[in-house]
Amino acid sequence: MLRLAKKLGSEGAFYAAVITLVVFAAFPFYWMLITTFKADGDLYDLKSIPYWFNTAPTLEHIKYLFTETLFVQWLMNSALVGLCVVAITLIVALPAGYSLARMPGRSAETLGIGIFLTYLVPPTLLFLPLARVVTLLGLQDSLWSLIVIYPTFTIPFCTWLLMGFFKSVPREIEEAAIVDGCTVMGAFVKTVLPLSVPAVLTVVIFAFTLTMQEFVYALTFISSSEEKPVTLGVATDLIRGDIFYWGELMGAALIASVPVAIAYNLFLDRFISGITGGAVK
């Protein structure tokens, strides 16, 4: 009996700890959700309990966001930047990762680590000179500046990820294709790439989410509202002097976050094995 009580007690403590952790992690998102659908009168009322709707939920904020602001434009900007960066990343990182995986000797290892290390060079160190580079390229205040600059962090990370993957593809497969008359390039395109669909998919998702995460470069390079990606536009252009704007702001943050959050969750394990360099088997 005592043992049962003890077991129940420790189980209760366990669940309490799990719930505390989950609430700490997820409460801000719950708060986004509830703010999005709350009527203004309810939002800015100090008396009522804020955790739930005290008046009927409303779609006012969402409607305002889609009709009266540049939100849709920002979403499309982000999508365009994301797609172009993914394309550039694939074109550059696929051959690079393959070449590093097949290159004989230690030089490949060193080169691979060298490329991966550039992922550690933070935007904070480079945004000043890159602002100058962007101006020289005539891309200031245009979202094309982001399309050119973002691959500087997606390429190193994705090359590293792909290198790890290609190493696991047996060399014999391409060798057979080469014996059958393929060129080295042809063997890569016809035999290795079709086997790499899961890895390519991972790279697509990560390159895309990494561009969605970025803030510093966008903040530095872009000042006109129409050119901003969603993460920057929402954070800088929706905040205005008046405080009664939180419904729209949280709605925008929520809508832009959901797809990224889902994608991240689905590919989390691959991301981890990439970052720990396959230290965990």
Partner 1 sequence: MTAITLTPRPTWSRFFLDRSEIVGPLFIAPAILYVVLLVGLPFLLALYYSVSAYTIFNPSLAFVGLKNFRDIIASEIFRRTLVNTLVFTISAQIIGLLLGKIGAMLLMQEFRGRGIARALVVLPWAVPVSLATLAWLWMFDSLYSVINWTLIALGLVDGANRPQWLGREDLAMIAVVVVHAWRLFPFGVVIFLAGFTSVPKDVLDAATVDGAGFWRRNYQIILPIIAPIVLIALIFGTVFTFTDLSVVYLLTKGGPINSTQVLGTYAFQVGILSGDVAHGAAICLFLFPFLLIAVILLLRSLRRREI
Min separation Cβ 57 and partner 1, Å: 17
Task: For partner 1, give the closer residue by CB, 1 or 48.
Answer: 48
Task: For partner 1, give the closer residue by CB, 58 or 174.
Answer: 174
Token pair for residue 12?
Answer: 């209760």
| CA 164 – CA 161 distance, rounded (Å) | 5
Min separation Cβ 281 and partner 1, Å: 7
Min separation Cβ 220 and partner 1, Å: 6
Min separation Cβ 266 and partner 1, Å: 10
Task: For partner 1, give the closer residue by CB, 1 or 280.
Answer: 280
| CA 248 – CA 37 distance, rounded (Å) | 9
Q: Are 248 and 64 in contact (CB under 8 A)?
A: yes
Up-side HSE of residue 161: CA atoms within 13 Å toward CB?
A: 31
Angle at 61 between CA 56 and CA 62, to 5 degrees: 105
Task: For partner 1, give the closer residue by CB, 66 or 186.
Answer: 186
Min separation Cβ 5 and partner 1, Å: 20
Tell me whether residue 142 is exposed, middle or buried, using C-beta atoms within 10 angstroms of its C-beta: 0 to 12, 13 to 18, 19 or more: middle
Count of C-beta atoms within a 10 Å radius of residue 249? 19
Residues 6+ apart with CB under 8 A from 13: none
Task: For partner 1, give the closer residue by CB, 195 or 219.
Answer: 219
